[in-house]
């Protein structure tokens, strides 16, 4: 498998249609700010992945794609919050029907303590081959490690478009 990194950009088009672009980004090789400038000149703005969008994508990959949460990072440095979330994730990965408890806890942290999600990593088993690994960061960088990177990139684009069109 080959991991690839992408940066999410969006543009508002006619009739409230949202256009999402996800150009490949090579950390350490590409100039991050030049990439942002290039897409800004094309009428796009960079997507900063809010906790609401993170939870929306998490629901898609956990519930619909039957993934497993492999890593989760909050923007808050408080170890107590991190430990709480890690413990809930361990339970949820074993007892999938407990997923709503995790979502409610994360919404509570966001609403009551202004704690945002920095990163989620999900592994999705594939019956016909290697698993999909996807890492979504709040700065709009998405890492995909899958034999079908292009398909998975388009899946993320579709979900992000759906999210923005539904708000």
- What distance in Å separates the CA atoms of residue 95 and residue 88, rounded to the nearest whole number? 10
Q: What is the largest CA-CA distance in the chain?
A: 47
What is the reported pLDDT for 48? 95
For tokens 């960088």, the residue is 141
pTM of the model: 0.93
What is the reported pLDDT for 129? 73
- Whether the Cβ atoms of residue 7 and residue 154 lie closer than 8 Å to each other: no
Which stretches of the chain are DSSP H helices?
32-41, 51-59, 79-94, 99-113, 149-166
- What distance in Å separates the CA atoms of residue 45 and residue 106, rounded to the nearest whole number? 27
Taking only the tens place, the pLDDT of each residue in 10-68 is: 998 777 689 999 999 999 899 999 999 999 999 999 999 999 999 999 999 999 999 99
Highest mean pLDDT among 10-19, 75-84, 89-98: 89-98
What is the reported pLDDT for 1? 57
- Mean pLDDT over residues 65-88, rounded? 91
Q: Cβ of 38: how many Cβ atoms within 10 Å? A: 13
Confidence band of 156 (pLDDT split at 50, 70, 90)? very high
- What distance in Å separates the CA atoms of residue 136 and residue 138, rounded to the nearest whole number? 7
Tell how many helices (H) and how many strands (E) occur in the chain: 5, 8
Taking only the tens place, the pLDDT of each residue in 129-154 is: 778 999 999 999 999 999 889 999 99
């Amino acid at each position: 498998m080959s991991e690839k990194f992408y940066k999410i950009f969006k543009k508002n088009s006619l009739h409230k249609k949202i256009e999402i672009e996800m150009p490949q980004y090579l950390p350490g090789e590409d100039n991050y700010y030049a990439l942002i400038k290039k897409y800004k000149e094309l009428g796009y703005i960079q997507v900063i992945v809010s906790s609401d969008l993170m939870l929306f994508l998490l629901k898609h990959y956990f519930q619909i794609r039957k993934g497993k949460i492999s890593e989760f990072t909050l923007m808050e440095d408080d170890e107590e919050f991190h430990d709480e979330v890690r413990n809930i994730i361990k339970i949820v990965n074993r007892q999938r029907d407990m997923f709503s408890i995790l979502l409610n806890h994360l919404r509570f942290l966001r609403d009551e303590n202004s704690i945002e999600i920095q990163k989620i990593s999900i592994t999705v088993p594939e019956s016909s081959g290697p698993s999909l690994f996807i890492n979504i960061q709040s700065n709009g960088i998405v890492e995909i490690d899958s034999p079908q990177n292009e398909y998975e990139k388009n899946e993320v684009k579709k979900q992000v478009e759906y999210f923005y069109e539904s708000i």
